[in-house]
Amino acid sequence: MRPFAYARADSAESAVRALSEAGPGVKVLAGGTTLYDLMKLDIEAPTSVVDVHRVPELSYIDTSGDELVFGAGARMADMAEDPVVRNEYPMLSESLWRAASEQLRIMATAGGNLLQRTRCAYFRGGEPYACNKRNPGSGCAAIGGADRGNALFGISDSCAAVYPGDWPIALIALDTEVDILGPDGERTIPLAELHREPGDRPEVETTLRPDELILRIRVRKTPAGRGSAYVKVRDRESYAFALASAAVAVAVEPTGVVTDARIGIGGVATRPWRVPAAEQALIGQPLTPESMRHAGEVAYQGARPGTHNVFKVELGIRVVADALRIAGERAAR
């Protein structure tokens, strides 16, 4: 690990001031569950770190209004256990419970969870592997290499690394906005505009500037939340990242016809990935094994597998169908 300057912020404003003064080599430290790892691997080498870990105004959860509001410093474990989140938005709670380990969920924050970096083995493996994300312009060892974990959607000739998060897959399926504080004040963007596809600049992963801080994540409440589920398939059933996941929410009439559908898929794209065409394929239909399978097939139309990850297409279709089955049972209660 290399030497770096350290500053502890006591408010969001003082954090942004410290970020601005520090310049482009600065990083925000929240739960530390990703940043410390990457610094030890010499993948991240910030010249300075601004610690927002103890900023009280960031650490809250408010589910009392017409939105679910998660301060950027809210802990994953607390969000997963919140009674409103558990009972009315099981997809959100399950996506948090199925991520990481108990120890990590106690430390990791909402904002940090959104901004976690890929688990691509070549990215984390360091030299001698070519990696455009770690070392821009060096090439990509994963494309044409051991590509079992690569993405199927949002890929480019420069990078096909999977976005690793679970909770953001559930968030992208709902109407989620992110409030951000910078030197010029506050701005709000839809979650869909936070993460970038790699294009020819895979090292630039978000639209967040170095001197900006995520303040809170807001999710518009919807009756479809009760009929929701998060299904995640991975190589082992604990402490592993998704090979394929699906976050789905449905509202169903007493006749069984779907009136609202939200679908996000994870483990298969370079950013949190919503599939509106699959949602539209369900609306007006009853939830049957055939219609749920069809929605999965529509979700995976346009997938671009490589050599070793082609299995993710069929796996992903089945995961979408399974999540819809569970969500449909919950919606009917």
Contacts with ligand SF4 by CB under 6 A lie at: 118, 120, 122-123, 131-133, 140-142, 159-161, 202
How many CA atoms within 13 Å lie on the side-chain side of 331?
31
Closer CB to ligand SF4, residue 154 or residue 202? 202
Region of residue 195 (phi > 0: left; psi between -120 and 50: alpha; otherwise: beta) = beta
**Structure-block tokens of residue 174:** 């709902």
Q: How many degrees, rounded to 5, is the angle at CA 319 between CA 317 and CA 323?
A: 120
Closer CB to ligand SF4, residue 122 or residue 230? 122
In the complex, what is the shortest distance from the CB of residue 121 to ligand SF4, in angstroms, rounded to a whole number?
A: 8
Note whether 151 and 310 are within 8 A (CB): no
In the complex, what is the shortest distance from the CB of residue 200 to ligand SF4, in angstroms, rounded to a whole number?
A: 11
Note whether 248 and 222 are within 8 A (CB): no
In the complex, what is the shortest distance from the CB of residue 120 to ligand SF4, in angstroms, rounded to a whole number?
A: 3
Closer CB to ligand SF4, residue 141 or residue 278? 141
In the complex, what is the shortest distance from the CB of residue 118 to ligand SF4, in angstroms, rounded to a whole number?
A: 5
Closer CB to ligand SF4, residue 32 or residue 125? 125
Cα separation, 331 vs 333, in Å, equals 6
Cα separation, 265 vs 217, in Å, equals 19
Cα dihedral sign for 77, 80, 81, 83?
positive
- Cα first-last separation, the chain: 53
Closer CB to ligand SF4, residue 161 or residue 224? 161
In the complex, what is the shortest distance from the CB of residue 131 to ligand SF4, in angstroms, rounded to a whole number?
A: 3
Closer CB to ligand SF4, residue 120 or residue 275? 120
In the complex, what is the shortest distance from the CB of residue 45 to ligand SF4, in angstroms, rounded to a whole number?
A: 17
Closest CA to 287 of 251, 315, 244: 251
